[in-house]
Each structure stands twice: as structure tokens, then as C-alpha cells.
Chain A
């Protein structure tokens, strides 16, 4: 399959490396020292149980790549506004795009510019990051869920799933990808917000009853919005999510990591989106509004830390 990865960071780089190793024709779209290192030395992927280096096409110019079968859209959400139009040269008659980002708005943002029928919303669970230019560490093995917005069974989704599975990526087609996106969004927006503002990891923070209550209230806000929008979400989602987070080993939300390192954060796609969507549909969001206000000064990071 001819595949372009838009944004070859932790998630995109890791998936691109695995897909290329399995024999797909992959082009990575990246920039800066990371791009230079991939061109010079290939892309190195350090998995939990193995590691490899692979030579893979890499460029900062999508026009050099031309039309592909599949685009994985894996940039950080705050790049969406500038990057979406850059995808045009990658689009052929039958190009599919899977969005694999945090938040719940990306598929609509891409659909508005590139046509909604080309977009398959997806969610990505993993923990991977750029260790140094050209080197990506995958701490937890990647898992992907994606599907058609209108719940149809499509051949293109099956083809893509098979290609991913052949590359050793755990992949499932979801009959309701928006449900999956929202489930992840409800937990992540609340957790990223409170752990960033408290500058404390979930394991420690959630031992404090006050913070635990606040986490649940923040999830309730986003859940109420999802339900009002007609997303199919379980009433006990908050309790289940709390138990799920409690069951995880110690980890750090990516927004907390970005904040701590002085990088730009995805605040606008998380608490910012909760506030925006809440206003649209008439659901109050006091906790997320609070979190947004105290995290706003750090949203764009410290210049020079990227």
C-alpha cells in the first residue's frame, strides 16, 4: 500500500516504521533535525521487545510524494489549521485519511477541506516519543481503532486493517468510531487538564479525594456534551474510566509532559474543545473552563523548547 505519514513524531513515526518494515511504500512527512536524521541514518524504532532501523522515504514537502492510497494524519492538533491544506497533493481519487489525534474535532476539520467521505476517524493508544532525531521509542505497543463515520462496512477499511495487522499493529475496525473517540476524549481531556495544572502524575494525584472528585466532575462535563450530541456513550462511563485509570501503571499524560518540557500543548483540542462544544450545545463546563484558564499561559510553550 502507498502510505504517507503526515507528522512522523512519536505516533506517526512508529507506525510508519512498522508499515515500511512490512514492505509498504511509505513516505514520512517531517521537518527539522528529525527529518535530516531519518534521511541520513534511516528511522530507528525501539520497541518494548525489539528494535530495528529502516531506510524510508522522508520529506518536508507533500507535493514530492504525490497521490497515495492512505494518509495517516498524526500531527499534534495545534498544527491542524496550517497542515490540513498541505495534504491536497497527497489526495487521489481513492485516497483515505485516518485521523489519529487527540480530541474529537479533527475528522470534521479535515472533512471540511478535503471532503468528508475521505476521512476515517481513528484513535491511537500507545506511548511513544521521539528519543532523539531519527529515533522513536515505543513504550507500550501501538493499538489502533478506526472506522467509517456512518457505520458502514467498507472494503477500504478491511484493506487498511489487513495491511496494519500484517505490520504487527493491533488494529480493529470500529462500527462506531465517534463513540471510541469520545470515550478517549472524555478521559483524556479531564486527566490531561488536572495532571498538568497540578503538575502531578495520575497515580499520585488520584490518591487525593478532592482531585479524584474533580477528575470525575470534569469527565461528567464532557460526557454530558457527548450524550447531548447523540454519541452512544454508557451512563457509567465515568466510573469505568476511573477504574481503568486506577488499573494502569504509573504514567504521565502527554500534555503534562509537553507542559513540563516547555513545549506547546494540545489544550485547545482538549479542555478548549470541551468548552467550545459545551457552549454550542448548552452544557455548562465550569471545571474545564477553570482548567483552561490556569493552563492558558503555557499553551504555546516556551519559545525555543520544541
Chain B
């Protein structure tokens, strides 16, 4: 593979752009910048100004660092790159798909890192299947304040691959360009991987947001636990009916994962609804409901969660 980036040890390195430098994008951007990658972060507003003026700060479990970063709100200033880490919020996807056109050449690979299972579809429609790698982030991070990211997970891990499972040279070359800062893996089963996470995060997010209560504590009650289990079973049934290979142990693994979280762990939708921010509702419970209707699988619990969260979808000030 011939890359476009700056020359290092006689060969050009991978040129990377991070579209959306929020929690996950900002965390990956900081780690890759620190490792010497040729990378630009695309973001906007106060967060952009803060990182341009003071650098980007990453607070980790075991320490923290601040680093100067290349950051801009204008992708045309960046030009074509080898890799786009596409890390905007799901409700920003349509706008961001258009915005990244200047970043893409014929060989450019775009790794999607949204929650949910359908953001890659919009990119494939715009850029075709050869440039889009649907991905899953296991990196837990959020913006603590403008220019400051908090990384909660110990590692920064992403898994991605082509939707059709082909292991093309362009896709296979990506992990080496991200190592060792980011633990990246290419898979030929990305759709299953996406659904395994979706199975857990769509119900978990919607339930902890609707109950206004941390999921880990909620599943300590019999009612909360069976609610989560039933909601996950709905998602699994929808996936199976859509032709996705679902790991038969996925639900049990999901509950075990939830139990392993710290006692007051908030999934992002709970933090968002408490702060009155927009919710990724359409990409999560909304997607379960929509896909369920398409494949004729009833999803009564996800229907109810969706109905009760809908008034908060675009964000609203919290009550007194």
C-alpha cells in the first residue's frame, strides 16, 4: 500500500482524519497524535477552539497528558487522506457524510464508529462499498469539558471490516497504521460483531435513560433484569430475522458485561437525557423498532422505550 502521509523512515505513513472529535474520536485522535501519526481532527465550536489554543487533554485511568493537535472545522483544508475515522454522533451522520467528501480519494478507507447498526449504510450510498468499513468501538470515552476527553476504558479498541466480509488489501492495511496507539482488528464478520454490541447497547441505553437510573443498579432488581433480558431478546430476534448470524451466547455475555461495570456506570443516553442533550434514539431503540417492522418481528418493549424517549430526542432542558 502506498500512503499519502508524511515520510517516516523513508516511506510515507498513513494519513488519517478523525471526523468528529467527541469522546471516542477525541480519544483516538489524542492517542494517535501522541504516537506520532499524521492526523487531523475535525470538530467545531468551543471544543475546537479549546484544543487549538491549549492542545487536547486526555484524562485516563492511570494518568493524563495534553498534546498539541492538528484540528480544524473545514475538511477541504485537509484534503484527501488514507483513512477517515468517522466518529460523529449518529444524528450528525447525514450532514457529516457530505462534509467528508474532500477527505476521500479513490483508495480512502472510512471506518464508521457510531453506535447502532445502520450508519455505514449512508456512507455506502455516498462512497460505494469499497471505501466503507463498518466498525465497532469498544473505547469508552466522553468530553469532560471543551478540549478535555475522559477515557474510561483501559484500552482503545476498534474492530471493523467490509460488510461483505471481503478482506481487501486496503482494509487489511489499516490496523498497522493505527498500532500501537489503537488496538485495531479487521474481521470478515463485522455485521455479527455490530449486532453483538447493538444487542446490548440499544436496550441498555434506552432502559437506563427511560428509568433515569444507572443500568448496573437497575439489573440488580428482578424487574429491571428481566426487562433488559426481554429487550435484548427482541433485538436478537430482529437480527436473526434480518439474516444476521447472532452468537447464541450473546445475551448471557451481555448481562455478564453489564454486571462487570462499576456500580454507578451511566450508559451515554442516561447522561445525555439528564443533561438535556440530543439522544441517539433513532440509531438505537428506533432502529430496533424500524428493522423489526421491516422483518415482521414484534418489539413491544423497544416500542415502549422509543415512545417514551421520543419527546427528548432533540434534547430539552431538564426539569428544575
Contact = CB atoms under 8 A, between A and B. Distances in A.
Interface of A: 194, 197-200, 204-205, 208, 210-211, 213-214, 260, 286-287, 289-290, 292-298
A199 B307 contact: no
B223 A292 contact: yes
A71 to B, nearest CB: 35
Nearest to B206: A294
Contacts of A194: 308
Given A200-B311, A211-B308, A297 B300 contact: no
B217 interface: yes
A74 B143 CA distance: 49
21 contacts: A194-B308, A197-B210, A197-B211, A198-B307, A199-B212, A205-B311, A208-B307, A208-B310, A208-B311, A211-B308, A214-B303, A287-B304, A290-B300, A290-B301, A293-B223, A294-B227, A294-B308, A296-B211, A297-B211, A297-B213, A297-B217
Nearest 8 CB-CB pairings of A with B: A210-B307, A293-B223, A297-B213, A198-B308, A294-B211, A293-B227, A200-B311, A211-B307
Interface string B202-242: 00000100111100011001011011000000000000000
B319 interface: yes
Contacts of A293: 211, 221, 223-224, 226-227
Interface in B296-320: 300-301, 303-304, 306-312, 319-320
A220 to B, nearest CB: 14
Interface of B: 207, 210-213, 217-218, 221, 223-224, 226-227, 300-301, 303-304, 306-312, 319-320
B214 to A, nearest CB: 9
Contacts of B224: 293, 296-297
Nearest to A194: B308
Contacts of B307: 198, 208, 210-211, 213-214
A290 B309 CA distance: 14
Nearest to A195: B308
B311 A204 contact: yes
A211 B301 CA distance: 13
Contacts of A296: 211, 221, 223-224
A211 B304 CA distance: 8
B320 to A, nearest CB: 8
A294 B210 CA distance: 7
Nearest to B207: A294
Contacts of A208: 307, 310-311
A258 to B, nearest CB: 13
Given A208-B311, A290-B227, A297-B217, A214 B212 contact: no
Nearest to B289: A210
B210 A211 contact: no
B221 A199 contact: no
Contacts of B308: 194, 197-198, 211, 214, 294
A181 B309 CA distance: 30
Given A214-B303, A289-B223, 10 more contacts: A197-B211, A200-B311, A213-B307, A260-B319, A286-B300, A290-B227, A293-B226, A294-B211, A297-B211, A297-B217
Contacts of B227: 290, 293-294
Given A198-B311, A293-B224, A214 B304 contact: yes
Contacts of B301: 290
A194 B319 CA distance: 17
Contact of A295 (B211, B306, B309, B312): B211
A279 to B, nearest CB: 14
Nearest to B225: A293
B303 to A, nearest CB: 7
Contacts of B226: 293
A204 B223 CA distance: 28
B311 A298 contact: no
A189 to B, nearest CB: 15
A197 B210 CA distance: 6
A296 B219 CA distance: 12
Question: Considering residues B210, B212, B304, B308, which has the most beta carbons from chain A within 10 angstroms of its beta carbon?
Answer: B308
B319 A290 contact: no
A136 B212 CA distance: 31
Contacts of B319: 199, 260
Contacts of B320: 260
A292 B210 CA distance: 12
A292 to B, nearest CB: 7
Question: Considering residues B303, B304, B306, which has the most beta carbons from chain A within 10 angstroms of its beta carbon?
Answer: B304
Contacts of B304: 214, 287, 290
B222 to A, nearest CB: 9
